[in-house]
Structure 1
Amino acid sequence: QSLTSMDLIFVPYENEKNLGIKNVIASIKNKDAVKEVAVVVGPEGGFEEEEIELLRNMKSYIVTLGPRIFRTETAGFVSLTLLMYEL
Protein backbone atom coordinates (compact mmCIF):
# COMPACT_ATOMS: atom_id res chain seq x y z
CA GLN A 1 0.00 0.00 0.00
CA SER A 2 1.16 3.54 -0.70
CA LEU A 3 2.21 5.87 2.10
CA THR A 4 0.10 8.62 0.57
CA SER A 5 -3.07 6.60 1.24
CA MET A 6 -2.41 6.48 5.00
CA ASP A 7 -4.37 8.59 7.48
CA LEU A 8 -1.20 9.23 9.51
CA ILE A 9 2.48 8.72 8.78
CA PHE A 10 4.99 8.78 11.62
CA VAL A 11 8.73 8.90 11.13
CA PRO A 12 10.82 8.46 14.28
CA TYR A 13 13.95 10.58 13.76
CA GLU A 14 16.86 11.01 16.13
CA ASN A 15 17.33 14.70 15.24
CA GLU A 16 13.74 15.65 16.11
CA LYS A 17 13.72 16.95 19.68
CA ASN A 18 10.24 18.42 20.25
CA LEU A 19 7.35 16.73 18.45
CA GLY A 20 6.33 13.37 19.88
CA ILE A 21 3.66 10.86 18.91
CA LYS A 22 1.64 11.89 21.96
CA ASN A 23 1.57 15.53 20.76
CA VAL A 24 0.33 14.55 17.31
CA ILE A 25 -2.38 12.21 18.60
CA ALA A 26 -3.54 14.82 21.13
CA SER A 27 -4.09 17.29 18.28
CA ILE A 28 -6.41 14.94 16.37
CA LYS A 29 -10.05 15.79 17.00
CA ASN A 30 -11.64 12.62 15.63
CA LYS A 31 -9.41 9.68 16.54
CA ASP A 32 -12.07 7.21 15.39
CA ALA A 33 -11.54 8.42 11.82
CA VAL A 34 -7.91 7.25 11.91
CA LYS A 35 -7.94 3.82 10.27
CA GLU A 36 -4.55 3.42 8.59
CA VAL A 37 -1.29 4.47 10.18
CA ALA A 38 2.23 3.98 8.85
CA VAL A 39 5.45 4.06 10.83
CA VAL A 40 8.54 4.59 8.69
CA VAL A 41 11.65 3.42 10.53
CA GLY A 42 15.06 4.26 9.17
CA PRO A 43 18.07 2.01 8.79
CA GLU A 44 20.84 1.60 11.35
CA GLY A 45 22.69 4.90 11.15
CA GLY A 46 19.50 6.89 10.57
CA PHE A 47 17.87 8.72 7.70
CA GLU A 48 19.66 11.12 5.38
CA GLU A 49 18.38 14.73 5.51
CA GLU A 50 17.11 14.38 1.93
CA GLU A 51 14.99 11.40 2.94
CA ILE A 52 13.49 13.33 5.85
CA GLU A 53 12.63 16.24 3.55
CA LEU A 54 10.94 13.85 1.12
CA LEU A 55 8.90 12.37 3.98
CA ARG A 56 8.01 15.86 5.27
CA ASN A 57 6.68 16.72 1.81
CA MET A 58 4.42 13.66 2.05
CA LYS A 59 2.76 15.20 5.14
CA SER A 60 4.54 12.82 7.50
CA TYR A 61 4.99 13.64 11.15
CA ILE A 62 8.67 13.58 12.00
CA VAL A 63 8.67 12.61 15.67
CA THR A 64 11.00 11.94 18.56
CA LEU A 65 10.93 8.76 20.63
CA GLY A 66 12.70 10.55 23.48
CA PRO A 67 16.34 10.97 24.39
CA ARG A 68 17.39 7.42 23.52
CA ILE A 69 18.36 6.16 20.08
CA PHE A 70 16.85 2.74 19.44
CA ARG A 71 17.97 -0.01 17.13
CA THR A 72 15.91 -0.28 13.95
CA GLU A 73 13.93 -3.31 15.11
CA THR A 74 13.26 -1.74 18.51
CA ALA A 75 12.19 1.66 17.13
CA GLY A 76 9.29 0.08 15.22
CA PHE A 77 8.07 -1.79 18.28
CA VAL A 78 8.35 1.30 20.52
CA SER A 79 6.51 3.44 17.95
CA LEU A 80 3.64 0.97 17.62
CA THR A 81 3.36 0.65 21.39
CA LEU A 82 3.10 4.42 21.78
CA LEU A 83 0.53 4.63 18.97
CA MET A 84 -1.65 1.90 20.44
CA TYR A 85 -1.55 3.57 23.84
CA GLU A 86 -2.37 7.05 22.54
CA LEU A 87 -5.06 6.00 20.06
Structure 2
Amino acid sequence: MDEPTTRLHGADINMIMKLLNQLVDHGNTVIVVEHNLDVIKQSDWVIDMGPKGGKNGGQVLFEGTPEELLHHQTSATAEYL
Protein backbone atom coordinates (compact mmCIF):
# COMPACT_ATOMS: atom_id res chain seq x y z
CA MET A 1 0.00 0.00 0.00
CA ASP A 2 1.23 3.46 -0.83
CA GLU A 3 0.65 5.89 2.05
CA PRO A 4 -2.77 4.58 3.11
CA THR A 5 -3.08 7.09 5.97
CA THR A 6 -2.69 10.25 3.89
CA ARG A 7 -5.41 12.79 4.76
CA LEU A 8 -7.10 10.44 7.22
CA HIS A 9 -8.40 11.41 10.67
CA GLY A 10 -6.63 9.79 13.63
CA ALA A 11 -9.60 7.49 14.28
CA ASP A 12 -9.48 6.32 10.67
CA ILE A 13 -5.74 5.68 10.95
CA ASN A 14 -6.42 3.50 14.00
CA MET A 15 -8.99 1.54 11.99
CA ILE A 16 -6.54 1.04 9.10
CA MET A 17 -3.87 -0.15 11.54
CA LYS A 18 -6.31 -2.60 13.13
CA LEU A 19 -7.16 -4.02 9.71
CA LEU A 20 -3.50 -4.28 8.70
CA ASN A 21 -2.68 -6.04 11.98
CA GLN A 22 -5.53 -8.50 11.38
CA LEU A 23 -4.09 -9.30 7.94
CA VAL A 24 -0.70 -10.00 9.52
CA ASP A 25 -2.28 -12.05 12.32
CA HIS A 26 -3.84 -14.26 9.64
CA GLY A 27 -0.42 -14.98 8.11
CA ASN A 28 -0.36 -12.34 5.38
CA THR A 29 2.58 -10.15 4.48
CA VAL A 30 1.70 -6.45 4.36
CA ILE A 31 4.04 -3.93 2.75
CA VAL A 32 3.27 -0.27 3.34
CA VAL A 33 5.07 2.83 2.07
CA GLU A 34 4.33 5.40 4.75
CA HIS A 35 5.58 8.65 6.30
CA ASN A 36 3.21 8.62 9.29
CA LEU A 37 5.42 8.11 12.34
CA ASP A 38 2.67 6.38 14.33
CA VAL A 39 2.38 3.77 11.58
CA ILE A 40 6.16 3.35 11.43
CA LYS A 41 6.28 2.84 15.22
CA GLN A 42 3.76 -0.01 14.96
CA SER A 43 5.59 -1.78 12.14
CA ASP A 44 7.32 -5.11 12.56
CA TRP A 45 10.09 -4.13 10.14
CA VAL A 46 11.25 -0.79 8.69
CA ILE A 47 13.27 -0.08 5.57
CA ASP A 48 14.33 3.57 5.66
CA MET A 49 15.26 5.02 2.29
CA GLY A 50 17.16 8.22 1.60
CA PRO A 51 19.08 10.24 2.32
CA LYS A 52 16.70 12.58 0.49
CA GLY A 53 13.99 12.20 -2.13
CA GLY A 54 14.16 11.83 -5.91
CA LYS A 55 17.60 11.63 -7.49
CA ASN A 56 19.20 12.24 -4.07
CA GLY A 57 17.51 9.21 -2.53
CA GLY A 58 17.05 5.56 -3.25
CA GLN A 59 19.68 4.27 -0.85
CA VAL A 60 18.76 1.89 1.96
CA LEU A 61 19.81 3.80 5.10
CA PHE A 62 18.42 1.36 7.62
CA GLU A 63 16.68 -2.01 7.82
CA GLY A 64 15.35 -3.45 11.07
CA THR A 65 12.81 -2.98 13.84
CA PRO A 66 11.46 0.42 14.91
CA GLU A 67 13.29 -0.04 18.24
CA GLU A 68 16.60 -0.55 16.41
CA LEU A 69 15.86 2.46 14.21
CA LEU A 70 15.76 4.71 17.30
CA HIS A 71 19.50 4.13 17.74
CA HIS A 72 20.50 4.65 14.10
CA GLN A 73 22.88 7.58 13.70
CA THR A 74 22.25 8.74 10.10
CA SER A 75 18.51 8.19 9.66
CA ALA A 76 16.37 11.33 9.56
CA THR A 77 13.38 9.14 10.44
CA ALA A 78 15.10 8.07 13.67
CA GLU A 79 15.39 11.73 14.72
CA TYR A 80 11.61 12.15 14.55
CA LEU A 81 10.64 8.85 16.18
Q: Which category of TM-score, normalised to the shorter sequence, fits these structures?
A: under 0.3
TM-score normalised according to structure 2 size: 0.27
Higher relative contact order by CA 8 Å / sep ≥ 6: 1 or 2? Answer: 1
